[in-house]
Amino acid sequence: MSKQNYKLEIVLSGQEIDQSINRISAKISEDYKNAKPILIGVLKGAFIFLADLSRSLDMPVEIDFIGASSYGDKAQSSGKPKVTKEIGINVSGQDVIVVEDIIDTGLTTSMIMRHIETLGPKSLKLCALIDKRERRQTDIKIDYAGNIIQEGFLVGYGLDFNEKYRNLPGIYKLEP
């Protein structure tokens, strides 16, 4: 699929993303009083969200990343996600929050949640900036969600198409 000539239509401005992050971080700060959660960002798309979310949190946190196979150069999920980069710190007995850029089918995140569950965390929650509903295939609970978007292929603020557009400060829909 070629999306070279696609137009970018703004979906969330940098300012709107900031507002979502402030709302989420207030909730997390409230829920994890006296705790020191480990934030696990899902590579690569969550790197910018994790950077901004972690700086907006009013508490000590530890940070690591997990890698999962994803779309490659296709705009369709492969349906069989695998862990490609393991978490580097010990999460056993710890409070863990998985930080995702976007939940689409939910297959990648379900696999990641099941995987981290086997590592024996004290608690495990999910935070995602975008809850994209149209193609959901699993019943997945998002404990901290930024914005619901019904449909479309999104880029910017960490999200890519063919590794491009990750550095855009807002989130855009690729439109023909």
Q: Which residues are catalytic?
A: 104
Class of residue 103 by CB neighbours under 10 A (exposed 0-12, middle 13-18, buried 19+) = buried
For ligand IMP, which is the closer residue by CB, 35 or 63?
63
For ligand IMP, which is the closer residue by CB, 36 or 164?
164
Which residues is 63 bridged to in the sheet?
39
Judged by CB under 6 A, how many residues of this single chain contact ligand IMP?
A: 21
The DSSP string of 113-174 is HHHHHTT--SEEEEEEEEEE-TT--S----SEEEEEE-SS-EEBTTB-BTTBSTT-SSEEEE
> Is 50 near ligand IMP (CB under 6 A)?
no
Strands 171-175 and 7-12: antiparallel
Which of 41, 106, 121, 156 forms a contact with ligand IMP (CB under 6 A)? Answer: 106
- Quick one: which segment of 10-18, 23-31, 42-50, 137-145 binds Mg ion (CB under 5 A)? 42-50
Which of 11, 25, 38, 101 forms a contact with ligand IMP (CB under 6 A)? Answer: 101
104 binds, among Mg ion, ligand IMP, none (CB under 5 to 8 A by kind): ligand IMP
For ligand IMP, which is the closer residue by CB, 30 or 163?
163
Which residues is 131 bridged to in the sheet?
103, 148
Q: Could you list the residues that contact Mg ion (CB under 5 A)?
A: 42, 45, 101
